[in-house]
Amino acid sequence: MVVGLASRADSHPRWEVPQVQLPAIPAGSVAINRGLAARTEDMQVAYYKGHLPIFTNAQSDLASFWLFTSQLIVQSSATQGQVAAA
């Protein structure tokens, strides 16, 4: 797509602006997939959707880890393979 003035044969000229989505994940994070990441800091694991934190749990809290990763899989936000690889 070219940025600038574009014209269509049957209407008025219009401006087209490209829409770019950056893979913005916090520094030091491990990517789960293109939109999800996890980062461990001070014995806490924080999960991010883009740059926003969506869940945290203690690193030793396996029940919370299983609950949250199961929700990611059921909601099709991540696959079981992506979670296991991260």
Paired tokens of 61: 């809290």
Would you call 46 helix, strand, or coil by DSSP? Answer: strand
- Distance from C-alpha of 76 to C-alpha of 82, rounded to nearest angstrom: 11
Encode pLDDT of 27-52 as tens digits: 889 999 988 999 999 999 999 998 88
pTM listed for this prediction: 0.70
High-pLDDT (> 70) share of the chain, %: 74
How is the chain split into domains, by residue range? Answer: 23-85
Instruction: Strand 52-58: give its sheet, edge to edge.
Output: 30-31, 36-41, 44-49, 52-58
Q: Does residue 1 surpass a pLDDT of 50?
A: no
